Amino acid sequence: MKICSICHKISGTNDDHTNCKEKLRIELEAEDFKKSIPEKLDIMKNPDDISSDLKALMGHMSREKKES
């Protein structure tokens, strides 16, 4: 038996609880996603930095939206 290093409760195995590990992994992924959002928004502010394929796609999508 061991104390889980995440929730600090008794674990029946010699490792942390599986659900505690998963919850921690999901929280870290969400934090990484939050950090990547400003990078994605910067692409929209400076369209010269993106490839021509993406420019064409974004132009098509904006024209389609205006026509609707």
Q: What pLDDT digit, counting tens, does each position of 48-64 carry? A: 666 777 777 878 888 76
| Contact assessment for residue 13 and residue 21, using Cβ atoms and an 8 Å cutoff | no
Q: What is the pLDDT of residues 7-49, one digit of tens each?
A: 999 998 889 999 999 999 999 888 888 777 766 666 666 656 6
Predicted local distance difference test score (pLDDT) of residue 45: 63
| Domain housing 50 | 2-67
Instruction: Please count the structural domains in the chain.
Output: 1
Predicted local distance difference test score (pLDDT) of residue 37: 73
Q: Which residues contact 49 (CB under 8 A, 6 or more apart)?
A: 43
